[in-house]
């Protein structure tokens, strides 16, 4: 990690109500890399993306994007920083009343006054890159899940961002679409000279394209390194996660005070309803 860091998190603490989601996270995302952020569901991965995008603010700690401390930026400045970010949402989040073309054109129309001809070229270029130039006129409802996600990907990169976030890009897709999306992420990152942050619990697919991985558990980064280093990690937690073992340091049972046998006895005597 000798290269310059585009995103840095320093001792970030974030809580929803009384439950801490992130408990002192330190992280450096090098410029130009594809970084994978893995962890159990509900472990705060999406929260971290939101923190980096400035849609959420941490209770304490520092987040620097491109050298700027997000805490010191005004709402205005964060909005203008976001024009250099793109995000692919888990459910595509396409505007349902606009065609695929208009969806991709949306950020351009909002931020620039481009002549229709140039706008058309820019949008078609991105749609071509995801292989959906032919679907430009279709509405989101007429697209399959995989196609919808590719249109959303075209929209996320249409402003040529320096930083692209992917929130669970592989979830709910067939194997062919997963392969397409994975290769697109790798190609786009190289073509745009961007930095990508990939949030996923799809271990194999993610590690196959990532340069660097982080494993998040219990609100902390428990392991990091190159995919090979992670695979040979000796941390029990990392091994459990990467190996997909049902029980281990992350317990199978949700914590309870009561003994199972005692619970059975009690429910019989008190007639507790479930």
Partner 1 sequence: MAFFDFIPQTGRRTLLTIPNLGAASRFLLSSLWNIFNRHFSMQQLFRQIYGFGVRSLILMVVAAFFTGMVLGFQGYYALVRFGATSALGTLVALSLLRELGPVLTALLFAGRAGSALTAEISSMKATEQLSAMEMMAVNPLAWVVAPRLWAGIIAVPILCAIFDLVGIFGGYLISVPVLGVDGGTFWAQMQSNVTFSGDILTGLLKALCFGVVVTWIAAWKGYTARPTAEGVGNATTLSVVTASLTVLGLDFILTALLFS
Binding residues for partner 1, how many (CB under 8 A)? 25
Q: Does 93 bind partner 1 (CB under 8 A)?
A: yes
Distance CA 241, CA 230 (A): 11
In the bound state with partner 1, the residue whose beta carbon lies nearer, of 11 and 80, is 80
Q: Which of residues 57-86 bind partner 1 (CB under 8 A)?
A: 79-80, 82-83, 85-86
* Separation of alpha carbons 27 and 22, rounded Å: 12
Q: Is 106 in the site for partner 1 (CB under 8 A)?
A: yes
Nearer to partner 1, 159 or 242 (CB): 159
Question: CA 216 to CA 219: how far, in whole Å?
Answer: 7
**Structure tokens, 267:** 């429910």
Binding mask 165-204 for partner 1 (x = CB under 8 A): x---------------------------------------
Name the minimum Å distance from CB 242 to partner 1.
29
| Angle (CA) 86 113 142, round 5° | 55
Distance from C-alpha of 221 to C-alpha of 274, rounded to nearest angstrom: 37
* Residues making up the chain, counted from first to last: 274
Q: Does 16 bind partner 1 (CB under 8 A)?
A: no
User: Is 90 an interacting residue with respect to partner 1 (CB under 8 A)?
Assistant: yes
Q: Tell which one of 41, 72, 74, 96 touches partner 1 (CB under 8 A).
A: 96
| 25-33, 104-112, 115-123, 185-193 -> range binding partner 1 (CB under 8 A) | 104-112
Site for partner 1, residues 129 to 168, rule: CB under 8 A: 152, 155-156, 159, 165
Examine residue 112 and tell whether it contacts partner 1 (CB under 8 A): no
Q: How many CB atoms lie within 10 A of CB 260?
A: 9
- What lies within 8 Å, CB to CB, of 217 at 6+ separation is 39, 40, 43, 237, 241, 249, 250
> Which residues 6+ apart lie within 8 Å of 205 measured at CB?
170, 178, 182
Q: In the complex, which residues of this chain contact partner 1 (CB under 8 A)?
A: 53, 55, 79-80, 82-83, 85-87, 89-91, 93-96, 106-107, 110-111, 152, 155-156, 159, 165
């Amino acid at each position: 990690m000798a290269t310059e860091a585009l995103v840095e998190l320093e001792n970030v603490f974030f809580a929803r109500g009384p439950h801490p989601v992130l408990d002192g996270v330190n992280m450096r995302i090098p410029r130009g890399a594809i970084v994978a952020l893995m962890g159990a569901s509900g472990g705060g991965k999406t929260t971290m993306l939101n923190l980096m995008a400035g849609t959420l603010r941490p209770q304490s700690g520092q987040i620097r994007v491109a050298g700027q401390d997000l805490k010191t930026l005004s709402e205005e400045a964060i909005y203008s920083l976001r024009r250099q970010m793109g995000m692919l949402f888990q459910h595509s989040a396409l505007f349902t009343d606009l065609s695929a073309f208009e969806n991709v054109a949306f950020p351009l129309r909002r931020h620039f006054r481009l002549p229709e001809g140039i706008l058309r070229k820019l949008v078609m270029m991105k749609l071509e890159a995801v292989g959906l130039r032919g679907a430009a006129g279709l509405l989101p409802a007429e697209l399959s899940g995989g196609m919808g996600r590719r249109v959303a990907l075209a929209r996320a990169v249409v402003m040529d961002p320096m930083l692209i976030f992917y929130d669970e890009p592989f979830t709910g897709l067939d194997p062919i679409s997963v392969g397409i999306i994975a290769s697109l992420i790798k190609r786009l990152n190289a073509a745009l000279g961007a930095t990508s942050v990939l949030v996923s619990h799809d271990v194999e697919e993610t590690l196959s394209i990532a340069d660097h991985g982080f494993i998040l558990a219990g609100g902390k980064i428990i392991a990091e390194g190159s995919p090979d280093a992670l695979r040979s990690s000796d941390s029990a937690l990392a091994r459990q996660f990467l190996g997909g073992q049902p029980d281990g340091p992350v317990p199978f049972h949700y914590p309870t005070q009561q003994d199972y046998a005692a619970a059975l006895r009690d429910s019989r005597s008190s007639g507790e309803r479930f």
